[in-house]
Structure 1
Amino acid sequence: MTSFRDLHRPGDPFILANAWDIGSAKMLGALGAQAIATSSAGYAFTRGLPDGGRVGREEALFHARELVDAVPLPVSADLEDGYGAAPEICAETIRLAAETGLAGCCFEDVAPDFTAYGFDHAVERMQASVEAARDLPADFVFCARADGVMHGLYDIDEAIRRLEAFEAVGADVLYCPMPGGMADLRAITEAVSAPVNALAAGPWTQSVRADFAAAGVARISLGSALARATHRVIRDAAIEMFGAGDFHSLGGIGAQEVDDLLATYGV
Structure 2
Amino acid sequence: MITSDRKALALVLRTLHRDRPLVLPNAWDPGSAVAVQAAGAKAVATTSAGVSWGVGVADAGGLTRTAALDVLRRIVAAVSVPVTADIEAGYGSTPDEVGETVALVLAAGAVGVNIEDSPGVAGEPLLDPDAQAARLVAAREAAVAEGVDLVVNARTDTYLMGVGTPEERFAATVKRAERYAEAGADVLFVPGVVDPDVIRELVAGPLPLNVMVHPGALTVAELAALGVARISVGSAIAQAAYGLAGEAARELLGTGTYGSLERAMEYGELNDLLR
Give 1:104's match in structure 2, choosing from 97, 108, 112.
112
One-letter amino acid of the counterpart of residue 146, structure 1: T
| Aligned counterparts of 2:179 and 2:268: Cα–Cα separation in 1 | 47
Partners of 1:17 and 1:222 within 8 A in 2 = yes
Shift of 1:105: 0.6
| Aligned counterparts of 1:16 and 1:23: Cα–Cα separation in 2 | 16
Shift of 1:22: 0.9
- The alignment status of 1:15 with 2:23, answered yes or no, reads yes
| Aligned counterparts of 2:173 and 2:115: Cα–Cα separation in 1 | 14
- The alignment status of 1:28 with 2:36, answered yes or no, reads yes
| Aligned counterparts of 1:180 and 1:162: Cα–Cα separation in 2 | 18
Shift of 1:241: 3.2
Q: In the alignment, which residue of structure 1 is the partner of 2:12?
A: 3
One-letter amino acid of the counterpart of residue 131, structure 1: E
| Aligned counterparts of 1:186 and 1:63: Cα–Cα separation in 2 | 36
- The alignment status of 1:260 with 2:269, answered yes or no, reads yes
Shift of 1:202: 5.1
One-letter amino acid of the counterpart of residue 74, structure 1: P
- The alignment status of 1:236 with 2:247, answered yes or no, reads yes
Give 1:187's match in structure 2, choosing from 195, 201, 208.
201
| Aligned counterparts of 1:57 and 1:51: Cα–Cα separation in 2 | 13
Structure 1 residues 66 and 110, CA gap change in structure 2 (3 angstroms): same
Give 1:211's match in structure 2, choosing from 219, 222, 225.
222
One-letter amino acid of the counterpart of residue 159, structure 1: T
One-letter amino acid of the counterpart of residue 48, structure 1: G
| Aligned counterparts of 1:85 and 1:45: Cα–Cα separation in 2 | 23
String of CA shifts for 1:177-232, please: whole Å, max 9, x gaps: 1114222222111112x32211122542xx21111101211111121111111122
Partners of 2:90 and 2:101 within 8 A in 1 = yes
Give 2:187's match in structure 1, choosing from 164, 173, 180.
173
Give 1:69's match in structure 2, choosing from 68, 77, 81.
77
Match of 1:191, SS state, is coil
| Aligned counterparts of 2:153 and 2:14: Cα–Cα separation in 1 | 11
Partners of 2:61 and 2:121 within 8 A in 1 = no
Structure 1 residues 94 and 253, CA gap change in structure 2 (3 angstroms): closer
Structure 1 residues 182 and 31, CA gap change in structure 2 (3 angstroms): same
One-letter amino acid of the counterpart of residue 197, structure 2: A
Q: In the alignment, which residue of structure 2 is the partner of 1:127?
A: 137
Partners of 1:80 and 1:108 within 8 A in 2 = yes
String of CA shifts for 1:119-151, please: whole Å, max 9, x gaps: 221222222222222332222111111113202
The answer for unaligned runs of 5 or more in structure 1 is: none
- Seq. identity, %: 36
Partners of 2:45 and 2:86 within 8 A in 1 = yes
Q: In the alignment, which residue of structure 1 is the partner of 2:210?
A: 197
Query: More displaced, 63-72 or 83-92?
Result: 83-92
One-letter amino acid of the counterpart of residue 139, structure 1: D
Shift of 1:54: 2.1
Match of 1:223, SS state, is coil
The answer for unaligned runs of 5 or more in structure 2 is: 1-8
Match of 2:263, SS state, is coil
Shift of 1:261: 4.7
String of CA shifts for 1:2-28, please: whole Å, max 9, x gaps: 701000027x21212211111111111
Match of 1:135, SS state, is helix
| Aligned counterparts of 1:250 and 1:164: Cα–Cα separation in 2 | 48
| Aligned counterparts of 2:120 and 2:106: Cα–Cα separation in 1 | 23
Q: In the alignment, which residue of structure 2 is the partner of 1:47?
A: 55
Query: More displaced, 117-126 or 57-66?
Result: 117-126
Partners of 2:130 and 2:179 within 8 A in 1 = no
Give 1:82's match in structure 2, choosing from 76, 84, 90.
90
Partners of 1:133 and 1:142 within 8 A in 2 = no
Match of 1:106, SS state, is strand
Shift of 1:106: 1.0
RMSD of the alignment, in Å?
Answer: 2.0
